[in-house]
Structure 1
Amino acid sequence: MKQDFLKFPLHLIFHPFSGFWDMKFERKGKLAVSLTILALLVLTTILQKQFAGFLVNFVDPRMLNSLDDLQYTLLPFLLFCMANWSITTLMEGEGKFKEIVMTTGYALLPIVLINLPMTFISRFMTQEETAFYWLMNSAASIWFVFLLFVGIMTVHQYSPSKAFLTLFLTVIAMAFVVFIGTLAFSLGAQIYWFIYDVYREIIFRA
């Protein structure tokens, strides 16, 4: 159990090629661990927006909403997993949906590990030191993208070029789904208000 929840995730982010290979073929990864990392990302994001130093925190405390942080973290995660599964199914990928979820979750670990300490450190930073804060956040994001690339390449057994193409098409698919969803929501809202106005007109005339 300790191997699954502590050692293996740390091994994977520092040795991604062998780590993702072990996750897929040696069954060392756990879905529960991946979802735990996702939950920790939500938590650290909320803490970062609420407690990061004012020199690096541009969020109005009066506008903070933890439900928004939850929504803007979980929805992109689920949308990416579904879009990638859809694309890779058409491109002969070998990864299952569960493996895509696990890969994405494990790849988020560097952001979780860097978010919390940098939130604390930022409270004591001077203006000149804030560059270090942004550097570490950028490093965490780049690390995440690299891990995600290696993970997708490994679980689907793709070449680097095909993995890159798959990720590119996944982003396009995500944008398409968001566009369709926004369009459907807007159309639904217009239909609702049209029906509501017709109803009010009938009531007033009656």
Structure 2
Amino acid sequence: MKQDFIKFPLHLIFHPIDAFWDLKSDNRGRLLVAFAALALTIVMMILQKQYAGFLVNYIDPRTINSIIEIATVAVPFFLWCMANWAVTTLMEGEGKFREIVLATGYSLIPVILIYAPMIVISRFMVQEETAFYYLFNSIAFFWFVLLLFIGMMTVHQYTVIRTIITMVLTLIVMGIIVFLGALVFSMLQQLYEFGYNIYRELIFRT
């Protein structure tokens, strides 16, 4: 059990093809680990904006809203999982929704492992060294994307080309969901204002 929570995630980021296959076929993944990775990623994002060195941090810590920061990471995470499940269901993907969540969550681990020390190191950097900060942050991002790509390809049993197509379609579906959500919210807001105005008219006339 301890290996599933510590050794397996570390094994996955260096041997993703074998590890994602174990995650799918041997049920090695744990939702608790995936959600813990999501939570720690959110924490890293907040800490980065709050405590990263002033040479690489242009955000006023007093303007940070923790709720917005949580939503900035959590909403795309769950949107990706839902949109990818919807797309791959139509494209004969073999991945279950649970496996998509696991693969996405485990793919975030490099972000945590790299961001944490870089936040500390950035406080002692001079101007000439800031390039290393951006370099390692870029490595964390591309490592995450690579793991996510391999994870989606493995859990759905797709080819490389089919994986790329489904990931692009997933991003498009995410945009559609956001657009429809904003549209519904706007319509509900207008209905509320319309109903409230009618209520006020009735009250004033009586």
Q: Deviations over 1:58-110 (max 9, x none)?
A: 22222111111111111111110000001000011111000000000000000
- Unmatched segments (≥5 aa) in structure 2: none
Q: Deviations over 1:3-42 (max 9, x none)?
A: 1111111111111111111111122221111111111111
Q: TM-score, normalised by structure 1?
A: 0.96
Q: Does 1:152 align with 2:140?
A: no
Which residue in 2 is equivalent to 1:100? 100
Runs of 4+ aligned structure 1 residues displaced above 3 Å come to: none
* Equivalent residues, number: 206
Matched residue type, 2:105: G
Deviation at 1:189, TM superposition (A): 1.2
Matched residue type, 1:72: T
Percent identity of equivalent pairs: 59
Which residue in 2 is equivalent to 1:115? 115
Which residue in 2 is equivalent to 1:140? 140
The alignment's C-alpha RMSD in Å is 1.1
- Unmatched segments (≥5 aa) in structure 1: none
Deviation at 1:125, TM superposition (A): 1.3
Q: Deviations over 1:163-205 (max 9, x none)?
A: 1001000000000000000111111112211222222233223
Q: What is the rounded CA distance, in whole Å, between the counterparts of 2:111 and 2:205 in structure 1?
A: 60
Q: What is the rounded CA distance, in whole Å, between the counterparts of 1:204 and 1:54 in structure 2?
A: 56
Deviates more, 1:126-135 or 1:81-90: 126-135
Q: What is the rounded CA distance, in whole Å, between the counterparts of 2:52 and 2:200 in structure 1?
A: 49
Matched residue type, 1:183: L
Which residue in 2 is equivalent to 1:181? 181
Q: What is the rounded CA distance, in whole Å, between the counterparts of 1:127 and 1:200 in structure 2?
A: 60
Summarize the alignment of residues 14-163 of structure 1 with structure 2, pairs less than 5 Å apart.
14-163=14-163
Q: Secondary structure at the match of 1:84?
A: helix
